[in-house]
Chain A
Amino acid sequence: MNRPITRRKFLATSGAFGVTLGSGLMTKAFAANDPLKVGVVYVSPISEIGWTKQHSLGIDAIKSDLGDKVSITAVENTFLPQDAERIFSEMASSGHQLIFGTSFSHGTPMQKVAPRFPGNAFEHCSGIVHFDNLGTFEAKYYEGTYVAGVAAAHMSKSAKIGFIGGFPIPDIVGPANALLLGAQSVNPDTTCNVIFLNSWFDPGKEKEATNTLVSQGCDVICSMTDTATGVQVAGEKGAWSIGYASDMSQFAPETHLTAFTLDWSSIYVQAARDVAAGTWKSDVRWQGLAEGVVKMSPYNEAIPTDVQASLQELQASISSGGIHPYAGEIQDQDGNVRVAADSVMPDPEIRGFNWFVKGIIGNMG
């Protein structure tokens, strides 16, 4: 996989290892012909599909863009803040000028490490705090789930959708709401049952959750976790499914309606180019269908062509801003109006979504 460091270079770097900790002196002092050192910390092992896979594609994009001028260091399977902090710190002190964190849980450690290395660039996916040398980037998942919700409503016979989420955090709660709002734009009676696994990766539990949702009458299953289990089990049960992060049609070719996929390459490549050129500045990016960070994978042939066409149109409208998934009026589970008609939910509220819209069955537990 990522094994660009030769032994000679390893010996050279090992000398610097740890000595420069806390000094921040590494920055921009590299000679022009030295490759740019990029570090990335993945939250799980890189597998065929899923969250980490999509981030690794971003790294691959850097490699193909900058070629010899870049060397990559990747550490997989690092979730917990205690471990992540050590690795960020080691990467920064061993001369990695650009360091990516790919999980919300990397936030606190990055916020601790970044100030100690003011000359290094840190990029944090799912981050909420940014510094002069700590940028954040995030996808508008809800745009994808809204489109998927529309597709689901066209295909659902029971008007019941099932949603499986890893954790009840705003980045999941919001998209679950948008999924239902999209569906309700087609059929206002649609409801959505929600189950949280409290894990990103637990195929056993996810299988159980999928079975439960199907037995509750849901005939479209959308699973925002790091596995394809939801898609696969739904297929076995004859229910439609919606993939997340990667195109998961290979796991249930017949029943996979579409997937809202993540493509971070533009962000990764831009950051690398900017650091190499010395023009990098920390930024807050929140991008979706318009920028191509969120994409819809090819629609299932079972979806009527006119519906497919309307979905394409919907994507274009969302991209252009003509349609906003969180446009009023939106009521919460108890029927209180949370977003008034003729208004759109403000961005900070979207990023902190912690309530369910009307029609969601389930709770945050």
Chain B
Amino acid sequence: MRPLIERRTTPSIAITVAAPAAATVLTVVFSFLFFDALGHNPVSTLHAFFVMPLSSLNGISEWLLKASPLILIALGLAIGFRANIWNIGAEGQLILGAVAATSIGLFYPDKESVFLLPLMILAGMLGGMAWAAIPAFLKHKCNTNEILVTLMLTYVATLLLSYLVHGPWRDPFGFNYPQTALLPPAAMFDPLSGPYRVNNSVYITIFAVGVTWFFTKYSFLSYRISVGGAAPTAARYAGYRESTSIWLGLMAGGAMAGIAGMAEVAGPLGQLSPHISPGYGFTAIIVAFIGRLHAVGILLGGLFISLLYIGGDAVQISLGMSSSVTRIFQGALLFFLLAADFLIFYRIRFVKG
């Protein structure tokens, strides 16, 4: 008997469900060997990684707080990815969203206005879209490569933010340190409850999951751009415009990333400093693919990646494990997950000979 790898004619639904389970089994096996070799008890390590962070309200709050921007950005990116529009500059769009929102939060005359927060959401969205409009315009008019342009603009955005917080927007009472003044309370999202950090911005994410799910499943527009992504020649054959894909693909990513940036400023940050994102814009690319560019998948993927990060911190605190160990574990788990994905589209069959 020898194994044969074959492509499935239709992806197996049973395996689609079983793949994460297989990844889990592989991870457990790996972690037993890995943690045991390092002298940690595998059971308590896994417990500390995945269970402990979620065993308190505060833990759940932190989990959602980190997952929310990842999910939001990934949703927007996925629309572009389906259209073969490779926006890898969500980080820059997030920064611009945060900058635009902060400009309202800091300089809007009425600091207690009830319109302050909605205006900031709008500004964040427009800021992200404006940043994404540059690669869209260049691709549409000059056929530039959006991968390069979006990535490069991320660096420009970082420098712009750096300029603002070092220069004109620096807090006058902040000992010249590069950060803005704190936003007024009316410019901040209220916490969902009590002392926990997770705030009302998660409703935006939940809403976005619903809208994206509906859009990709039922809209003809989404169908058209996905044809452009899967088979550009077929899209031209059918007469679907490429410019629709370019603009929609980039605008969706820009809008969502901009709102995510706004929600960071109006949530856990409260002010701008030279660094405002732990790479959410880049991690969201992983989330989009783990979620198979599907809204519900992205929701789960974002929650998973968020837990992975928070769990990594948790074992450092509770078990004193070093950050490099937790990173290896995180990498291995991602690897297993993607490897298990393979089985959804391929099968292994044993034949004689």
- Which parts of A1-55 form the interface with B (CB within 8 Å)? 1-5, 7, 10-11, 13-14, 17-19, 21-22, 39, 45-46
Residues of chain B within 8 A of A82, CB atoms compared? 65-66, 264, 268-269, 278
**CB pair A10 B316 closer than 8 Å:** no
Residues of chain B within 8 A of A198, CB atoms compared? 158-159, 162, 274
**CB pair B175 A45 closer than 8 Å:** no
Partner of A76, one of B159, B175, B176, B316: B316
A73 to B316, CA, bound (A): 7
A201 to B323, CA, bound (A): 17
Q: Assuming A86-B197, A128-B177, A170-B175, is B274 touching A94 (CB within 8 A)?
A: no
Residues of chain B within 8 A of A86, CB atoms compared? 62, 65, 197, 310, 313
Count of CB-CB pairs between chains A and B under 8 Å: 132
| A143 contacts chain B at the CB level, 8 A cutoff | no
**CB pair B195 A116 closer than 8 Å:** yes
Q: Which of the candidate stretches A149-157, A224-232, A244-252, A348-356 sits at the interface with the other chain?
A: A348-356
Shortest Cβ distance from residue A60 to the other chain B in the assembled complex, whole angstroms? 14
| B140 contacts chain A at the CB level, 8 A cutoff | no
Partner of A11, one of B44, B62, B197, B313: B44
| B277 contacts chain A at the CB level, 8 A cutoff | yes
**CB pair B177 A17 closer than 8 Å:** no
Partner of A79, one of B47, B52, B275: B275
Shortest Cβ distance from residue A172 to the other chain B in the assembled complex, whole angstroms? 11
Which residue of B176, B268, B269, B319 has the most chain A CB atoms within 10 A of its CB atom? B176
Shortest Cβ distance from residue B195 to the other chain A in the assembled complex, whole angstroms? 4
| A261 contacts chain B at the CB level, 8 A cutoff | no
Residues of chain B within 8 A of A348, CB atoms compared? 175
**CB pair B320 A167 closer than 8 Å:** no
**CB pair B319 A14 closer than 8 Å:** no
- Which parts of A80-137 form the interface with B (CB within 8 Å)? 80-83, 85-87, 89-91, 93-94, 104-105, 108, 116, 128
A276 to B233, CA, bound (A): 72
| B48 contacts chain A at the CB level, 8 A cutoff | yes
| A361 contacts chain B at the CB level, 8 A cutoff | no
Shortest Cβ distance from residue B277 to the other chain A in the assembled complex, whole angstroms? 7
Closest B residue to A198 using CB positions:
B162
Shortest Cβ distance from residue B333 to the other chain A in the assembled complex, whole angstroms? 18
| B292 contacts chain A at the CB level, 8 A cutoff | no
Shortest Cβ distance from residue B264 to the other chain A in the assembled complex, whole angstroms? 7
A364 to B163, CA, bound (A): 9
| A74 contacts chain B at the CB level, 8 A cutoff | yes
Residues of chain A within 8 A of B231, CB atoms compared? none
**CB pair A167 B274 closer than 8 Å:** yes
Q: When each residue 308-344 of chain B gets 1 if its CB lies under 8 Å from chain A and 0 otherwise, what string results?
A: 0010011011111111100000000000000000000
Residues of chain B within 8 A of A267, CB atoms compared? none
Q: Assuming A13-B318, A73-B317, A352-B175, is B58 touching A81 (CB within 8 A)?
A: no
| A337 contacts chain B at the CB level, 8 A cutoff | no
| A75 contacts chain B at the CB level, 8 A cutoff | yes
Closest A residue to B43 using CB positions:
A7
**CB pair B58 A89 closer than 8 Å:** yes
A86 to B273, CA, bound (A): 18
**CB pair B55 A18 closer than 8 Å:** yes
| B56 contacts chain A at the CB level, 8 A cutoff | yes
Q: When each residue 329-364 of chain A gets 1 if its CB lies under 8 Å from chain B and 0 otherwise, what string results?
A: 000000000000000000010011110000000001
Supplied contacts A4-B320, A76-B323, 16 more A-B pairs, CB within 8 Å: A13-B318, A17-B52, A18-B55, A22-B195, A73-B318, A80-B277, A82-B269, A83-B313, A85-B197, A87-B317, A90-B313, A108-B269, A108-B273, A168-B166, A351-B175, A352-B175
**7 tightest A-B CB contacts, nearest first:** A18-B56, A3-B320, A352-B176, A22-B195, A76-B323, A354-B176, A75-B316
B residues with a Cβ closer than 8 A to A are 41, 44, 47-48, 52, 55-59, 62, 65-66, 158-159, 162-163, 166-167, 174-179, 194-195, 197, 264, 268-271, 273-278, 310, 313-314, 316-324
26 A-B pairs with CB atoms under 8 Å apart are A5-B319, A7-B41, A11-B44, A14-B52, A17-B55, A22-B195, A45-B322, A73-B317, A73-B318, A81-B269, A82-B268, A83-B313, A85-B268, A87-B313, A87-B317, A89-B58, A90-B317, A91-B317, A104-B177, A108-B271, A128-B175, A168-B178, A170-B175, A348-B175, A352-B176, A364-B167
